Amino acid sequence: MAATPMPAHLARAASGHMMDQPLVTALDGLLERQPRGARVPVIFTSPHSGRDYPADFVASARLDAQSLRRSEDCFVDELFAAAPDCGAVLLAARFPRVFCDVNREQWELDPAMFADALPAFVNRASPRVEAGLGTIPRIAAAGAPIYRQRLSFAEAKTRIETCWVPFHRRLAALIEETKAAFGACLLIDCHSMPSVSLAGLGRVDTVLGDAHGTSCAGAVTARIDALLRAEGFMVQRNTPYAGGYITRHYGRPREGVHAVQIELARRLYMDEVRLAPSADFAALQQAMTRLIARLADEAAALMADGALTHRALEK
């Protein structure tokens, strides 16, 4: 992959040579890495890389641990680990997405999964629920059912209150803090995609989702696209992934919050059968570090240009 030139003051972080370790907080099932030194208006999230599987959950599942893990965005938090060294926050879930998926609305639940009736406020009919991929998923990768028996609503409520709520409470606070300090915030929601999801699309290395232009100013998405292409990646936009709940809920460019979902093809960095990093892992991690460094340097100006463009379009 061809490296994109960058400002000298970011070269140390992008080379992979870290200085002091950033402040790490592990509370409520979250891993938060705060910036070391000067902060920039960028937040990175990794909601699906969690790998702390509760023992009682694994015991209740029909699937073995390896099968459950196939739904993970394995190692994505590690691919973007340089964010704090470039002045950005990295917020990751420690719990797995098959236990509670924070990239969904709070109450997207499938009634067929539960032994008791669900409250009226539950969203029973979203496309995610119908696909078995609600806030408490019914299926894992390849459509395999997760549970041996039905759950109680009380179990779902506990998971949502102890996983979903703290994640979004913290993310919302980080966004408000960033907006207060800089006037704008760029949120990069980081994911990975299995090869099977790209069948028939030709070579796709990464997909940028901005909810078809509604969650992020076009100039910001275009710059991320250009930086990825400069690294040698084949980039696609919004197909097959246009952005999940995090991107769509928090992305409000007219209010100064720009959100983009980045999906990386798993074949670029891991063995999808063994669920282990491949020999190419370090190269992709270094490429993502260069991307992070560039965005850290350019985000404020990019978002300012994006705001001007939005105002011009509204006239």
Q: What is the pLDDT of residues 11-70, one digit of tens each?
A: 444 444 333 445 666 567 999 999 988 999 999 999 999 999 999 999 999 999 999 999
- Could you give the CA distance from residue 194 to residue 70 in angstroms, rounded to a whole number? 9
The average confidence (pLDDT) of the chain is 91
> What is the Cα–Cα distance from 113 to 312, expressed in whole angstroms?
49
Output DSSP code: residue 252: B
Question: Domains, the chain, ranges and CATH?
Answer: 8-103+159-314 (3.40.630.40)
Find tokens 């409470």 and name the residue: 169
Q: What is the pLDDT of residue 200?
A: 83
**For residues 244-252, average pLDDT:** 98
Q: What is the pLDDT of residue 22?
A: 52
- Alpha-carbon Rg for the chain, nearest whole angstrom, is 19
User: Tokens 């702390």 label which residue?
Assistant: 52
> What is the average pLDDT across 246-256?
97
Distances (CA, A) of 270 to 51, 69, 79, 104, 273: 16, 13, 11, 26, 9
Digit-coded pLDDT (tens) for 110-136:
999 999 999 999 999 999 999 999 999
Where do the H-state alpha helices sit in 142-217?
153-159, 165-182
85 has pLDDT over 60: yes
Query: pLDDT above 70 covers what percent of the chain?
Result: 88
| Distance from C-alpha of 256 to C-alpha of 186, rounded to nearest angstrom | 8
Place of tokens 């940028």: 208
Average pLDDT over residues 150-167: 97
Give the pLDDT confidence score for residue 20 in this predicted structure.
44
